[in-house]
Amino acid sequence: MNTSTVTLPDNLSALSSQELMRLEKQIADQFMGGLPWGSICWGLGNLVVWLSLWPLTLSGILPLWIAFPIATLNVMLSYLPSHEAQHRIIAQEGDKLFWLNELVGNLSTIPMVLPYEVARLTHLEHHKHTNDPELDPDIGTKAKGPWHSILNSIRNRQPGSKAGAAYGATLQRLGTPAAERAGLIALVFQLSYLAILFTLAWTGHALVAALIWWLPRHIAQTYIQFYLSWAPHHPGTETGRYRNTRSFRSVVGNIGSMGMQFHIIHHLYPRIPLMQTPAAYWALKPVLEARGCQLDGL
């Protein structure tokens, strides 16, 4: 893990806003770059494990009660590697390894039935309009507290939910050819997912389909919306670079919350790899304090 080599002045409050920004960028720059092998192996390895559960359970080699928690963990783990790709952290367009970026981005979210292009376009809108009640596609996860967040997540997945249709609405608002294509891919994904579930169910494998995909996906969506969306943006009332996201101390620790304790770093510098955000946070903390960020006990 990187450590900062930038020496901070004794009194940050004596610095002008521009000087503070220069210092902030100087520190942040040290944590960017390099190939995030951890996220690449995580994304592809996680998919391989999840895919292997199908033949193992359908052939009776692996009991469903063992496969179910593994599948749930797989779906929970499937989003973040794609998130690295969405921000071109693995490689940027024109780089030799851009294909790897797109491979991880496209493959890792298959268990979630979330097409990469939909995730990328809507996520970039989330960064652009964080906490904006009209324009942030993730504003529907805003909730009064943890239990309300879980209830809200379930409510947002109901067929008639407006918040549940937010990604589709965002793609429509964007109206670009890429957004139109993403909408079409989302439809193909959704129909394919349902066709696979229905086929498995009517051929005598309904429980396998339910415990390897359908139920794990619901549990994972609740978890992801809780830790990746609600918790780091709570209370979700402010906009602006230093106030739209926070750091927080999670009861399940940094691994249990998938690094989201340090999500404020991601919003300030989206190109810093996930696994570098804790070190970047500790190095930047005095600057964040000087900027009046919400650091909530971390």
**Which residues form the interface with other proteins (CB under 8 A)?**
154-155, 158-161, 187, 194, 197-198, 201-202, 204, 206-207, 209-210, 214
The distance of closest approach from Cβ of residue 137 to other proteins in the complex, given in angstroms and rounded to an integer, is 20
The answer to whether the beta carbons of residues 131 and 235 sit under 8 Å apart is no
Q: 207 or 219: whose CB is closer to other proteins?
A: 207
Structure tokens at 216: 């794990």
Q: 208 or 231: whose CB is closer to other proteins?
A: 208
Inter-axis angle of helices 98-108 and 79-86, nearest 10: 140
- Whole-angstrom distance, CA of residue 175 vs CA of residue 180: 6
Q: 178 or 194: whose CB is closer to other proteins?
A: 194
The distance of closest approach from Cβ of residue 138 to other proteins in the complex, given in angstroms and rounded to an integer, is 21
The beta strands (E) that lie in the chain are given as: none
| CB-facing half-sphere around the CA of 33: CA atoms within 13 A | 5
Residue 200, classed as helix, strand or coil, is helix
CA 33 to chain CA centroid, nearest Å: 20
Residue 115, classed as helix, strand or coil, is coil
The answer to whether the beta carbons of residues 246 and 234 sit under 8 Å apart is yes
Q: Classify residue 298 by burial, with Cβ atoms within 10 Å: 0-12, 13-18, 19+.
A: middle
The distance of closest approach from Cβ of residue 135 to other proteins in the complex, given in angstroms and rounded to an integer, is 24
The distance of closest approach from Cβ of residue 76 to other proteins in the complex, given in angstroms and rounded to an integer, is 22
Q: 168 or 286: whose CB is closer to other proteins?
A: 168
The distance of closest approach from Cβ of residue 56 to other proteins in the complex, given in angstroms and rounded to an integer, is 19
The distance of closest approach from Cβ of residue 201 to other proteins in the complex, given in angstroms and rounded to an integer, is 4
Q: 60 or 94: whose CB is closer to other proteins?
A: 60
Q: 37 or 198: whose CB is closer to other proteins?
A: 198
The answer to whether the beta carbons of residues 153 and 226 sit under 8 Å apart is yes
Q: 51 or 201: whose CB is closer to other proteins?
A: 201
Buried b (16+ CB within 10 A) or exposed e, 129-159: bbbeeeebbbbbbbbeeeeebbebbeebeee
| DSSP letter assigned to residue 246 | B
The distance of closest approach from Cβ of residue 198 to other proteins in the complex, given in angstroms and rounded to an integer, is 4
Q: 168 or 278: whose CB is closer to other proteins?
A: 168
The distance of closest approach from Cβ of residue 111 to other proteins in the complex, given in angstroms and rounded to an integer, is 17
Sequence letter at residue 87:
H
- Whole-angstrom distance, CA of residue 211 vs CA of residue 176: 37
